[in-house]
Structure 1
Amino acid sequence: MGRADARRAQRRGSRGAGRSGGIRGLFTWRKLLGTAFGICLLGMGAFAVLYVMVSVPEGNAQAKLQSNIYKYSDGTLLARTGEVNREIVDLAQVPKEVQMTFVAAENKSFYQDKGVDFKGTARGLLNTVSGKGKQGGSTITQQYVKNYYLDQDQTVTRKLKELVISLKVDQKRSKQEILAGYINTSYYGRGAYGIQAAAQAYYGKDAKDLNVAQGAYLAALLQAPSQYDWAVAGPKGKALVQERWNYVLNNMVEEEWLDAGKRQGLKFPIPQDPKPLNGVAGQKGYIVEAARKAVLEETGLSSDQFDLGGWTITVNIDRKKQQQLEKSVETKLIDNLDTKKRKLDQDIQAGAVSVDPKTGAVIALYGGRGQNQHWSSNAARTDYQPASTFKPVIFAAALDGESVTQDGRDITANTRYDGTSERPVVGSDVAFAPENEDDGNYGSVTVQTAMNKSINSVFAQMGVDVGMDEVMKTAGKLGMDVEGLDAVPAQTLGSMGASPMAMAGVYATLDNHGKKVTPQIVKSAVHQGEDPVQMPDAIGGQVISRQAADSVTSVLTGVVDDGTARGSVRNAEGLADQQIAGKTGTSDYNRSAWFTGYTPDLVTSVGLFGEAAFNRTDDDGKKVHKGDQVTLKGAGGGGRVNGGAFPAQIWADFTAKAMGEPSEFVLDTDMGAAVTPPPDTSSPSATTSPSDEASPSDEPTTQAPTTTPPATTEPPETTPPATPTGDPTTSPPTDPSTDPGPSDSAGLPIDPGSNNRPENDNALTR
């Protein structure tokens, strides 16, 4: 090689060396480290900015939704309502070992970490960016943040927010708060959100009663609720959930949260089959709605606020007595109706309320055929007349006010009145001449007999004697809604509206010796994390004197022993030894029929209501619209439906099974059927027109009223009755089969009807 060639070779080598050195110089470790450091600084700066900008938001509305829980008086579940089946419970209500199953399943380092799994989050971000779908690895804190503060979207933005919020939540909240939030917001399948709903859905128990094996199953479920539900899982799903269950328990042993010996003895706890959510079918809907209304009235909350959930409401309803009331209505009424053959039977609606007179607790309630068929509760409806069940209120007003007749005689159970049908009342500025049932004339009768036979003309005159203003005032004190009603004689026929709930309260006040009883459906109401609501007192002060209330009770025993309720109540199985007071009622045009009665410990009001089930034209060519008030006559294939028929039969069947041991009234009174009544001095003349509120099984034991009025329209003067014998506070009711008593109240005619129906149509409010 010549000198020239050598120089060229040297130049080529120099150029190659320059190129190699340039590449190496561009990617030196110093430059790479500097670039990486710069990127880290930028990332840290960006994260710092993100940390400052992202705040912990309010919990999302869906995560806050809970069920409202309703319980019977004994604490058993009545119903759950709300859009989301969730009941938040404090962590202290969950056994410690059950708490740890969730930590063992999801995040063993939960109590040591800072709320974030950076590796898992980074992996999740990369998979999200690369389109590989969802990625696990989040801590309990992150899952709680996702459930409670964010949503389930799988985006980079959401993951970054989750990271920041989780760090902040871990700093601000205790681990106990975070764990409680996690187990209360997670979805467990079967429509159950939160551990309490899950415990009920899978094991039929509260979270506080779960054992560690059951807790491990619920913790295992969270990985795949649908796939791991034992009731629907295939062989693979069952194998996987058992594998996951074992994983949870083994982790607990490894972390020394569970004794190894105890672990060996645990068996896989197969959950129960799914059950429908406890909703508001049958009578539950009426009970729930009554309780809901009571809480809203007391708290002033709006429906929207209440329906966010979190309420636990215990009602006074006794589960067994509720079942018995439903059964009594079914057997004594529904089984006797044939809605396919008799369209009229579709119009029959029943309502009933049973109250403990000593506490005011509503222990049973019947609202109708179910809210899916009849939305509004018949137990609370006030659009039908209580009819002759109002008569005891008139007498109570007379006794409490120590009222006298037009001619100055004290009004007592033994005071005589003229029982002539359509006799004009004396002393009223408003003309009124009510017709008695079947236009029957009774002549001179005692108040006791008039109550037994429900004689309209007697109580119309008594109302005027007392003063209708005082009668209506007493009705209000006893618990009826009479505000704005005219104090006119027509009101003596019970022409105002009233509900079984209200009438149960009125009679409970009489039973409670004149101390006000306001029926109370709610026993307790508590919102999550708050103090219990103070419900109003069910027992109030003395609204009428004890003597007045007890005397009314005493007189009302005569209605059962020797009056319009004798056939269905006194002769009913199981009631022979029980003292009972009560009153029947049948309204204008037979649109409603009632029996409200009581023992010393139980008051029940039963009403039947004629309500058109469909649009139609009646026999007179009149248009009838669905919901209109219509007659009960003919229901069950019979004639007129009276208070002494279906209502009294329902009452008797229920009371006989619900009352417990027979008991006696302790009454401060010297009048009425609870003591030996005085003899009457006159009797109505014989007639073949029977009273139609007796039981068809009873043979006539006395003559029915004549349709010919007596010669005078004023009550005759009589000598004061003899003082009755016996201790009025303890003497049992007169037995009409052995004691002759007064001739016009010694027995009862036979036809199943009512002599307490207000017949004067013009005098009645509709």
Structure 2
Amino acid sequence: MGRAEERRARQRGGRRAAPRNRSSQAAMGSAPTAPRGRAAARRSARGGTSDKSLIRRLFTWKKILGTFFGLCLLGIGSFVVLYLMIDIPASGNEDARLQSNVYKYSDGTILTRNGDLNREVVDLAQVPKPVQKTFVAAENKTFYKDAGVDLKGTARGLLNTLSGKGAQGGSTITQQYVKNYYLTQDQTVTRKLKELVISLKLDREKDKDFILAGYINTSYYGRGAYGIQAAAQAYYRVDAEKLSVAQGAYLAALLQAPSQYDWAVATDNGKRLVKNRWNYVLNNMVEEGWLDQAERDSMKFPVPKEPRPSAGMRGQIGYLVDAANDEMEKQLVAQGTAEDAKQAEAMVEAGGWTMTLNIDKKKQTALEKAVKEQLTSKLDKKKRKVDGNVQAGAASVNPKTGAVVAMYGGVDYLKHYTNNATRPDYQPASTFKPVILAAAFDDEAETQDGNQIMANSVYDGTSKRPVEGSDIAFAPENEDDRSYGNVTVQTAMNKSINSVFAQMGVDVGMDKVLKTASDLGMHTDGLEAVPAQTLGTMGASPLEMAGVYATLDNHGKKVTPAVIKKVEHSSLKVDPPDPVGDEVISREAADSVTSVLTGVVDDGTARTSVRDNPKRIGQKVAGKTGTSDNNKSAWFTGYTPNLVTSVGLFGESAKPPHPQVTLTGATGLIPAPGRINGGGYPAQIWAAYTFGVDTKITQFDLDTDQGAAVQPIQSPTFSQKPSSTPSDEPTTKEPTTAPPTTKEPTSAPPTSEEPTTPPTTNEPTAPTTSPTGEIPEDPVDPNSGQ
């Protein structure tokens, strides 16, 4: 075949005419060729399109639809399995359950917050309804109608997660709450599927208010604030219940970008964005019919307040917090909510408590000021090493309610961790003597001579005089080893004569004395009933002694000082016990002790600091000083009809392990020995504080006919045979400088008249030749008295 014929064959599709006969083909010497007719061409074409036919056979419309529906069924089946397998967790994740504890003053103002997380859960009812709607308008307008999930948003979020684009898409309020409370912020397919299932179940099992409350209480608002209550305080310094709609709209707007939208640190663009978001929230509220248009138009953007640092635990705050926590833990155990102290402590540390304390803000400030002005401003540890060893503690109690209205725990909680107001490791010394007298009066005890012990009973005040009637020998030394001869009980209390009260303790019976001490509120477990206890050798705290004296002030009805006024918690109920209990000693006994203790102020160891204080202005006062062995502690516990305060100074070495040391020489007192007595700085602190806050002049309502506050009605009686020591010759009458009579008759209004010729504090009141019952006093020593 020539070239022309081949070309024509190619043009015909590769077909050419068959040779007319085989012979001609052979004659031409050509090899036989494959047939190229139509059938062959069709067979060749089918081979070239076999792949396309296979695809058509495999992917028919029926098969595609069938596969799609199969996958749908598989997805539905898988979701059903997940729905059955995934339950709503029994509790939230660890971070979501963390809350701070909130501590408030008695007037409701914030004292401080503490805890690992600044969160305080509040009931939805505490959030105004319009403020509730701001969050719905901001995040999920269909919240009240939807089933708890946004399927489009969830699907978009899943695809973005799978493609590595991160968190995108809009979740419902329910889903956000589930993520915040039950799950984590991890962006994983597993977490998103769990979020979907739990959200659906939660929406079916809980009402919308429950979910909304959970959402606004777990969300983060910036400034370290978790939950709407903490946010309200952080941005507007109000509780959530006081938020306006405009303020609520700002907090709702914050949730989109807390750091970027915080007005205090936002850039100009950030401020523009948050304002736009704020307007968006309010406009949505109008659109949904939750806000009147006119009200909306009148709203101005509520600029948040500047952030302020947390009060933390500095100063006195830490001491108050510790005292409140300790009281709370004891109550949890007492009411059976906690099995033991360890569990109670864990429950308090878990957070979520709002404790309103009895602490009065003004009185607290006044007490701190009194300690600073009267004592700490005079300490200079660079000049005197001993000044660095001085610790002060004080507690102030309302005797009618038992409320602890003020407390001083130390110079600063961050510098001295131990609370000096509650520490029980220092001797109360002579402040224990009124307890002995209370036991004597209440038990109608008798002297060794068989005479009933009264305020005008006469005892031998000889120093180192051995007690009579005791199986245990005891001969206590009076301060400075001074002997007083025979003196009445009233004078013995005024002058704090150890030998008299040692004998009285034996006369009453030391077991009865310790029982009375326990009844009045002292911790006496494990104490041995021996005469030495009459010197106040057991440990006690200012708070404890304030409770003892408050019971005396409250006519014998037990007063247990209470730091906590009210407790709130989202799931636990705590009812603080009534601080005022039943009568533990008779009213007459309590009132008689009070009557006697007025003499300590008017003619005894506290007269310089208290009686002669220019701010007293006729106020009635009872109290007792105390100075322990080796001057390791000095006390004054005193009271008016309305306020009881105990002040203690303690010598504690500044070096670990902080043993007890003497206070002598502190502040540079001269002349020697420079002793810190209870009538000095403790009484000065007491007077500066009490006369500054208890300004209403009141009188004691006393049901008694004995003591310094009333005229004596009988002749003195002797407690034992007179001493044979010439220098201690007994007398049957009081010294010429007898306590002023400030009788408060029951038939007429009591008088507050002061003595017309009060003893001077600039000269010794006792001759040096022989004891007369007067207290030793140095003209230049402001700390005279025991």
The CA distance in 2 between the partners of 1:348 and 1:678, in whole Å, is: 45
Kindly state the Cα deviation for residue 78 of structure 1 after the two structures are TM-superposed: 1.7
Q: Residue 726 of structure 2 aligns to a residue in which SS?
A: coil
Given that residues 452 and 745 in structure 1 are in contact (C-alpha distance below 8 angstroms), is that contact kept between their aligned partners in structure 2?
Answer: no
Which residue is 1:554 aligned to? Answer: 595
Number of aligned residues: 717
Q: Give the residue type in structure 2 aligned to 1:574.
A: K
CA-CA distance at 1:428 after TM superposition: 2.1
How far off its partner does 1:209 sit? 0.8
1:293 to 321, 326, 330: 326
* 1:219 corresponding residue in structure 2: 252
Closer/same/farther in 2, CA of residues 738 and 716 from structure 1, 3 Å limit? closer
Which residue, 465, 474, 487 being the options, matches 2:516?
Answer: 474
Provide Cα deviations, 1:641-689, integer angstroms capped at 9, x if missing partner.
110111001100110111131100111111121124699999xxxxxxx
| Corresponding residue SS for 2:566 | strand
Match of 1:691 in 2: none
Distance in 1 (CA, whole Å) between partners of 2:46 and 2:465 is 141
What secondary structure does 1:50 align onto? Answer: helix
The alignment partner of 2:435 has SS state of: helix
How does 1:402-417 map onto structure 2 within 5 Å?
A: 402-417=444-459
Alignment partner of 1:583 out of 600, 624, 627: 624
2:624 is equivalent to residue 605 of structure 1:
no
Deviation at 1:717, TM superposition (A): 6.6
Offset, 1:629: 0.5
Which whole-Å CA distance do the structure 1 matches of 2:501 and 2:249 have between them? 71
Question: Which of these residues, 230, 243, 258, is aligned with residue 197 of structure 1?
Answer: 230
- Residue 438 of structure 1 deviates from its aligned partner by 1.6
Does residue 1:139 correspond to 2:172, yes or no? yes
Q: Secondary structure at the match of 1:605?
A: strand
Structure 1 vs Structure 2 CA RMSD = 2.7
Change (3 A) 1:36 1:672: same
Q: Deviations over 1:477-531 (max 9, x none)?
A: 2111122222222111111111111111111111111111111111122321343
Q: Does 1:247 align with 2:266?
A: no
1 CA distance for matches of 2:607 and 2:117? 52
Corresponding residue for residue 501 of structure 1: 543
1:277-292 equivalences under 5 Å are 277-292=310-325
Matches within 5 A, 1:250-265: 250-265=283-298
Secondary structure of 2:233 counterpart: helix
**Higher deviation after alignment, 483-492 or 352-361:** 483-492
> Which residue, 227, 231, 241 being the options, matches 1:208?
241
Q: 1:150-190, CA deviations, whole angstroms, 9 ceiling, x for partnerless residues?
A: 10111111111111111111111111111111111111111
Task: Give the direction of change, closer, same or farther, for the CA distance of 1:213–1:458 in structure 2 (3 Å limit).
Answer: same
Distance 1:76 1:211, change over 3 A: same
1:3 CA displacement: 6.7
Determine whether 1:387 maps to 2:429.
yes
1:687 equivalent in structure 2: none
* Aligned partners of 1:405 and 1:465 also within 8 Å: yes
Secondary structure in structure 2 of the residue aligned to 1:408: coil
1:423 aligns with 2:465: yes
- Answer with 1 or 2: which has the greater Rg: 2
Distance across 2 between alignment mates of 1:33 and 1:725: 108
Specify the code of the residue in structure 1 equivalent to 2:64.
Answer: L
Q: 1:628 aligns with which of 636, 654, 659?
A: 659
Specify which of 157, 168, 193 is matched with residue 124 of structure 1.
157
Match of 1:522 among 551, 564, 575: 564
Which of 281, 295, 300 is equivalent to 1:267?
300
User: Among residues 688, 697, 700, which one is paired with 1:662 in the alignment?
Assistant: 697
How far apart are residue 277 of structure 1 and its match? Answer: 2.7
* Residue aligning to 1:357: 399
Seen in structure 2, the aligned counterparts of structure 1 residues 215 and 681 have a Cα distance that, compared at 3 Å, is closer
* 1:41 pairs with 2:73: yes
Instruction: Give the percent of matched residue pairs that are identical in Structure 1 and Structure 2.
Output: 64
Separation in 1, partners of 2:124, 2:51: 70
1:582 to partner: Cα distance: 0.5
Name the counterpart of 1:56.
88
Residue 332 of structure 1, CA deviation: 0.9
**Aligned residue identity for 2:194:** K
| Partner residue, 1:78 | 111
| Equivalent of residue 336 in structure 1, options 378, 402, 417 | 378
Kindly indicate whether residue 325 of structure 2 is the aligned counterpart of residue 310 of structure 1: no
Task: Label 1:679 to 1:20 Cα distance change in 2 as closer, same or farther (>3 A).
Answer: closer
CA distances 1:36-76 after superposition (whole Å, capped 9, x unpaired): 22222222222222222222223212111111222221111
Out of 515, 530, 540, the position equivalent to 2:581 is 540
Structure 1, unaligned stretches of length 5 or more?
Answer: 615-624, 683-707, 758-766
Contact 1:71 1:313 in 2 (8 A): yes
The 1:678–1:115 alpha-carbon spacing in structure 2 relative to 1, beyond 3 Å, is: closer
The residue type paired with residue 585 of structure 2 is I
8 Å contact from structure 1 (residues 450, 458) kept in 2: yes
Distance 1:460-1:712 versus aligned 2 partners, 3 A rule: farther
| Shift in CA distance, 709/641, structure 1 to aligned 2, threshold 3 Å | farther
Listed as ranges, the gaps of 5+ residues in structure 2 are: 1-11, 19-35, 718-722, 760-764, 767-771
> CA shift at 1:223, angstroms?
1.1
Comparing 330-339 with 459-468, greater Cα deviation is found at 459-468
Work out which of the residue numbers 442, 454, 474 in structure 2 matches 1:400: 442
TM-score between the two structures when normalised by the length of structure 1: 0.89
**CA drift at 1:630:** 0.4
Distance 1:403 1:756 in 2: 28
Question: What are the within-5 Å matches in structure 2 for residues 95-114 of structure 1?
Answer: 95-114=128-147
SS of the residue corresponding to residue 124 of structure 1 reads helix
User: Which letter maps to 2:614?
Assistant: E
Q: After superposition, give the CA deviation of every residue in 1:72-98 in whole Å (9 maximum; x if it has no partner).
A: 211111221211111111111111111
Whole-Å separation in 2 of the counterparts to 1:285 and 1:189 = 25
> What is the CA–CA distance in structure 2 between the aligned matches of 1:560 and 1:512, rounded to whole Å?
19
For residues 157 and 44 of structure 1, what CA distance do their matches in structure 2 show? 16
2:687 to 652, 660, 672: 652
Structure 2 distance, partners of 1:726, 1:641, is 32
User: In the alignment, which residue of structure 2 is the partner of 1:595?
Assistant: 636
**Change in 2 beyond 3 A, CA 1:255/1:459:** same
Q: What is the deviation of 1:141?
A: 1.0
Change (3 A) 1:610 1:726: closer
Q: Match of 2:757, as an amino acid?
A: T
Aligned residue for 1:686?
none
What per-residue deviation string (whole Å, max 9, x for no partner) do you get for residues 360-389 of structure 1?
Answer: 111111111222112121111111111111
AA partner of residue 591 (structure 1)? K
Taking structure 2 as the reference length, the TM-score comes to 0.86
Asked whether the 8 Å contact 2:427–2:628 carries over to 1, the reply is yes
CA distance in 1: counterparts of 2:73 and 2:510, whole angstroms: 92
Q: Comparing 659-668 with 279-288, which one deviates more in the overlay?
A: 279-288
Structure 1 pair 377–501 and aligned structure 2 pair: CA distance change class (3 A): same
Change (3 A) 1:585 1:725: closer
Match of 2:726 in 1: 711
Alignment deviations for residues 189-241 of structure 1 (CA, whole Å, 9 cap, x no partner): 11111111111111111111111111111111111111111111112221221
Asked whether the 8 Å contact 1:600–1:664 carries over to 2, the reply is: yes
Counterpart CA distance in 1 for 2:715 and 2:482 is 18
1:147 to partner: Cα distance: 0.7
Aligned-partner residue type, residue 185 of structure 1: T
- State the SS of the aligned residue for 1:441: coil
Structure 2 contact 744–751 (Cα < 8 Å) conserved: no
